[in-house]
Structure 1
Amino acid sequence: MKTVDLMYQTMLAELAQRTMDAAWTADFPSEGRFITMEVKGKRYWYFDMPDGSGGKKRRYVGPADDPEIAQRVEDFKRDKESLRDRRRMVASLTRQGGMVAPDPMSGDIVEALSVAGLFRLRAVLIGTVAFQTYAGLLGVRLPLAAILTGDADIAQDYTISREVEDTLPPILDLLQAVDPTFRPVPHRSGAAASTAFQTKGGYRVQFLTSNRASDDYIDQPAKMPAPGGASSDPLRFLDFLIREPMRTVLLHKSGVPVNVPEPSRYAVHKLIIATKRRTDGHFVLKRDKDLRQAELLFEALYETRRSSDFALAYDEAEERGPAWREALQEGKDMLSKDGQRMLSQILRLGNQQIGKEKTDDPQ
Structure 2
Amino acid sequence: MKQIDLMYQTMLAELGQRSLDAAWTADFPPEGRFTPVTVKDRRYWYFDIPDGKGGKMRRYVGPADDQEIAQRVETHKREKDDLRARRRMVSTLTREGGMVAPDAMSGDIVEALAAGGLFRLRGVLVGTVAFQTYAGILGVRLPSAALMTGDADFAQDYSISHEVEDTLPPILELLQSVDPTFRPVPHRSGAAASSAFVNGSGYRVEFLTSNRGSDDYLDQPAKMPALGGASADPLRFLDFLIRDPVRTMLLHKSGVPVTVPAPERYAVHKLIVASRRHTDGQGAVKRDKDIRQAELLFEALQQTRRASDLALVYNEAWERGPHWQEGIWAGAGMLSEEGRDRLRDSLRHGSIQIGEDITMPF
TM-score of the aligned structures, taking structure 1 as reference length: 0.83
2:290 corresponds in structure 1 to: 290
Secondary structure in 2 matching 1:88: helix
Structure 2, gaps ≥5 residues long: 29-74
Residue 166 of structure 2 aligns to a residue whose secondary structure is coil
Q: How far apart are 1:27 and its partner, in Å?
A: 5.9
Q: Which has the larger radius of gyration?
A: 2
3-state DSSP of counterpart to 2:208: strand
- SS of corresponding position for 2:98: coil
Please give the residue correspondences for 1:78-157 in structure 2 after superposition, counting only pairs within 5 Å: 81=79, 82-157=82-157
**Which residue of the partner structure matches residue 18 of structure 1?**
18
Where 1:168 maps in the other structure, the secondary structure is coil
Give the Å deviation of 1:319: 0.6
**Could you tell me how far apart the structure 1 residues matched to 2:283 and 2:180 are?**
28
Residue matched to 1:318: 318
Q: Please show how residues 197-346 of structure 1 align to structure 2 within 5 Å.
A: 197-346=197-346
Q: In structure 2, what is the Cα distance between the partners aligned to 1:226 and 1:213?
A: 21
The answer for the alignment partner of 2:178 in structure 1 is: 178
Compute the displacement of 1:253 (Å): 0.1
Offset at residue 336 of structure 1 (A): 1.0
1:290 aligned counterpart, secondary structure: helix
Shift of 1:357: 4.6
Q: Secondary structure at the match of 2:9?
A: helix
Shift of 1:26: 3.7
Shift of 1:283: 1.2
1:21 deviation in Å? 1.8
Residue 338 of structure 1 aligns to a residue whose secondary structure is: helix
Stretches of 4+ aligned residues off by more than 6 angstroms: none
Residue-by-residue CA offset, 1:103-159 (whole Å, 9 max, x unaligned):
000000000000111111000000000000000000000000000000000000001
Displacement of 1:251 = 0.0
Q: Percent identity?
A: 72
Alignment partners' CA distance in 1, 2:167 and 2:2: 41
Residue deviations 1:291-326 (CA, integer Å, cap 9, x gap): 000000000001001000000000000010111011
Q: CA deviation at 1:338?
A: 1.2
Once residues 90 and 290 of structure 1 are traced to their aligned partners in structure 2, the CA distance between those partners, rounded to angstroms, is 27
SS for the counterpart of 2:207 is strand
Letter in 1 for 2:253: K
SS at match of 1:208: strand
What is the DSSP-based 3-state SS (H/G/I as helix, E as strand, rest coil) of the residue aligned with 2:152? strand
CA distance in structure 2 between the partners assigned to 1:150 and 1:91 by the alignment: 22
Q: Which residue matches 1:353?
A: 353
1:189 counterpart SS class: coil
CA distance in 2, matches of 1:22, 1:165: 25
Count matched residues: 310
